[in-house]
Chain A
């Protein structure tokens, strides 16, 4: 932009007698604040559109008799603004008295006291007494809205909650009910609140009207606040742990730190109870004839070190295998792999994400050739179209959806969602493309072919490339083979036109695409499409450090920083499970993972475990894998140790120690450093910072991590070629069954941590509000499918698992694709052995069968 153009957008105004230049379109409030004037506000919130309900921000403008609300009035050329004088002050005070007229003096028992905007503004404005009075009211607070409680008596009707739920969360759960003094906040449905329970509304409520049901016994000023990284999913949100006397009492958010703009999801905001849970492992445990026996750290470490050293000497270097953690810090994983490679001399380590699909983990930069794959949230700044491919973004990585909505507030952003069911993004996106799970590859190749055809007919997309003829022909031919139904084909054409008409497109690839049997081809198609469209691709990630564990080289044949491992004696056999099954493996070490819960073919893994003599689990909890191991060592969570974690966009962020270690638990890096020194190699770490420094020194990709939060630059790893690359998909297994069982992601649960959050548990199994009735999980089916198997809405459905049975109700939903049975999160679909509806068996296939 030329300087002249900049100057054109600036206009001159006068604020309190001082001339100022501000950008056109700025609101008076922002202009005044940036020029040092103080204007009190109550309803205004930077991340929302101006609301204009409190009128405290009123100012005088020369030539206008009435007071003007500065938060929602844009500046105009030559405007003369007065931000404070006697009249304005009197006016603001009167407005405040009006707000306070029936606000009870409940500060001593109100949770917000001490951080209450109403208290602060009342104090600033020197409002000391009442001028008017009304008949007061005392209404019963609403306490049956799940994790949200609403007290009408305290509500000042500022509407922030309504707006944040609509604009930021996209849910639009609230409305105003009634008029005048009787007005209150109610749910849109006028029934119990059944929403995302993200708590955004609690965080913006200026008073104590909205609070969480998780009563905390402290007061605002007693809290020690520590900003750290959320340990649940890979978005990398920054949240603020509030502790009182060393106990975590709540989680709050801060609009101005971290990437998340003060937004959190239910897991982040309410899922902290696992940290100081009484079920945490407190001491090292060794299996005896009957159950586990507590031992001291010295005994446990000496015992484990002796065993591991023994196997190494007797059976060679490959006799030990390890599984790293997608939740542990980079430090833990780094020391874990160092212990394996340097001390045990074994390169047979892996992580579960990589075991499920190495193409998107350790082999990501080999398999896909485009740099646009490593995109950061900065891409959202000028994005005009977001396309989810195989992603239930709002439930997998909830705050990414918030960031997209935020981008949509700043400029126009359209959203298109391709997923195996409808209704996973709110508000209703511009375009939904529900495909059949098995046809997912067909869908992407058709989308690509359609884009190529469009380029041929109407020229390249803005910013995009033109494909070479040969590749175009291959894609077109491949697309012809995959038949799609007309409705979806029509939607594909619309999407292509949408891509053409919009500016930058960001494609977000989710778990369904990443875990699909034809994943690589699906993702390559998407990367090709991004190249054509001149867009970017972002890989969503499941767990807090799924990115970091791979960056740290906890994968076979891959050193930290994706450097191919070249020492030949270490050449790992890629598949840990095969190794275990072969009987060559004598020891298995698992770092902070529940393999039997997370690995899709759990039964196979359990059987393979039986062949291993010594199984060591480093864990925070007694989990599903625990019964089959020989020793458990208690590990800390991220809240008890300093460390770094890497988010899905590749931002390496510092996670800070907030509370003391629970029981005798130790950080993962410490445990493996201790084991190493018991085996004769001293790593020389005193504290986790030493490991961080070593990572910075040793891992080229992570050169700056000891200096603070950094966005890792993966571009050096990528072969950045503009040409399209063709990837042939593997044939999908021929499955002869009527249904595919698919699992829905849940906002309220992710892995072991949320199992130990009692407040979130009742919400689990509620992927979206409409899935549930009175909190009971439902299995969903398309209405037409119901007819063929003779079932009806509400029929009893029985799921049989290896470890038991579950009976629930069937719910018919036209938003579900035909041929799929949707089970809620905690019904791990890979474990389902059979399904019976109304007593008769349904032929169905689950993901484990499809992959295996």
Chain B
């Protein structure tokens, strides 16, 4: 079946006023000033009165101040360390196969008691696209997207390759995210 051609109106013909150029510059300056002045006045006023809480926040003082991360935010993927101190991961390899840029590689092994675990688990942070598919694929809630977005870049790609030690985070610290994926994201409650 041949594709249907859809005509899109790209609106590239300029109106008379737009063609005049000057009025558009004035309009642009007006928008800038509209945002700049109230912000400027509010900041200076708060400084003079020493009442920072009255500042109308348009930006934050990063890194001294940190933004509030919404639950659904996908930061660096991390492995969950269970309450028994062992990784929850069973080396099933589903994240490995789900990961679009192939940044995960796992070598599985078996413990004396017959349970399986990843002998090595390597996640190449320089290739990760923070898509969250690994988290979605994992049947064990063993890998989750944390809220960690800081210090993820390095001048050397080699330093961005995380091994198990760099990835493991205690379960307690990931409660919120685990809660979220259970209830909201992937309805994993039936596992």
Q: Which residues of chain A have a CB within 8 Å of any CB of chain B?
A: 105, 107-109, 113, 141, 215, 217-219, 221-222
Contacts and interface: CB of A to CB of B under 8 A. Distances in A.
B119 A107 contact: no
Contacts of B119: 217
A105 B93 contact: no
Given A217-B107, A217-B108, A219-B92, A109 B116 contact: yes
B92 A215 contact: no
Contacts of B91: 109, 217
A219 B131 CA distance: 23
B139 A108 contact: yes
A658 B176 CA distance: 48
Given A221-B97, A222-B93, 5 more contacts: A105-B139, A109-B116, A113-B92, A217-B91, A218-B108
Contacts of B107: 217
B114 interface: yes
A108 B117 CA distance: 11
Contacts of A217: 91, 107-109, 119
A108 B92 contact: yes
B46 interface: no
Is chain A's interface secondary structure helix, strand, loop, or mixed overall?
loop
A635 to B, nearest CB: 30
B110 interface: yes
Interface residues of B, number: 18
B18 interface: no
A665 to B, nearest CB: 26
Contacts of A141: 114
Given A141-B114, A217-B108, A217-B109, A109 B92 contact: yes
Given A105-B191, A108-B139, A109-B115, A219 B110 contact: no
A598 to B, nearest CB: 38
Nearest to B116: A109
B140 interface: yes
A109 B92 CA distance: 6
Nearest to A113: B92
21 contacts: A105-B191, A107-B139, A108-B92, A108-B139, A109-B90, A109-B91, A109-B115, A109-B116, A113-B92, A141-B114, A217-B91, A217-B107, A217-B108, A217-B109, A217-B119, A219-B93, A219-B97, A219-B108, A221-B97, A222-B93, A222-B96
Most buried by A among B92, B114, B139: B92
Interface string B78-96: 0000000000001111101
Nearest to B115: A109
Interface of B: 90-94, 96-97, 107-110, 114-116, 119, 139-140, 191
Contacts of A221: 93, 97
A273 B90 CA distance: 26
**6 tightest A-B CB contacts, nearest first:** A108-B92, A219-B93, A217-B108, A109-B116, A108-B139, A109-B90
A105 B140 CA distance: 11
Nearest to A111: B116
Given A108-B94, A108-B139, A109-B92, A215 B110 contact: yes
Given A141-B114, A217-B107, A217-B108, A108 B191 contact: no
A242 B102 CA distance: 21
Nearest to B105: A245
A105 B115 CA distance: 14
Nearest to B110: A215
Contacts of B108: 217-219
A108 B109 contact: no
A116 to B, nearest CB: 13
A141 to B, nearest CB: 7
A221 B98 CA distance: 12
A245 to B, nearest CB: 9
B114 A108 contact: no
A109 B114 CA distance: 10
Contacts of A109: 90-92, 115-116
Contacts of B110: 215
Nearest to A215: B110
A467 B150 CA distance: 95
Contacts of A218: 93, 108
A460 to B, nearest CB: 65
Contacts of A105: 139, 191
A536 B40 CA distance: 103
Contacts of B92: 107-109, 113, 219
A152 to B, nearest CB: 14
Nearest to B190: A129
Contacts of A219: 92-93, 97, 108
A108 B140 contact: yes
B113 to A, nearest CB: 11
A219 B97 CA distance: 10
Nearest to B94: A108
A148 to B, nearest CB: 16
Nearest to A129: B190
B97 A108 contact: no
A107 B139 CA distance: 9
A200 to B, nearest CB: 25
Contacts of B94: 108
Contacts of B115: 109
Contacts of B191: 105
A215 B116 CA distance: 11
A109 B111 CA distance: 12
A218 B97 CA distance: 12
A67 to B, nearest CB: 30
B18 to A, nearest CB: 57
A219 B140 CA distance: 16
A105 B92 CA distance: 13
A103 to B, nearest CB: 15
Contacts of A222: 93, 96-97
B82 to A, nearest CB: 15
Nearest to A222: B93
Contacts of A108: 90, 92, 94, 139-140
Contacts of B96: 222
A246 to B, nearest CB: 13
A101 B74 CA distance: 37
A108 B138 CA distance: 9
Contacts of B116: 109
A533 B86 CA distance: 71
B188 to A, nearest CB: 12
Contacts of B114: 141
A129 to B, nearest CB: 8
A107 B140 CA distance: 11
Nearest to A143: B114
A501 B108 CA distance: 59
A218 B106 CA distance: 9
Nearest to B139: A108
A219 B116 CA distance: 12
B156 to A, nearest CB: 25
A554 B68 CA distance: 80
A513 B40 CA distance: 105
A287 to B, nearest CB: 40
A851 B111 CA distance: 54
A218 to B, nearest CB: 8
Most buried by A among B93, B108, B115: B93
Most buried by A among B109, B116, B119: B116
A153 to B, nearest CB: 12
Contacts of A107: 92, 139
A56 B119 CA distance: 39
A344 to B, nearest CB: 49
A222 B108 CA distance: 12
A172 B91 CA distance: 36
B75 to A, nearest CB: 25
Contacts of A113: 92
A105 B190 CA distance: 11
Contacts of B93: 218-219, 221-222
Nearest to B89: A108
A244 to B, nearest CB: 9
Contacts of B109: 217
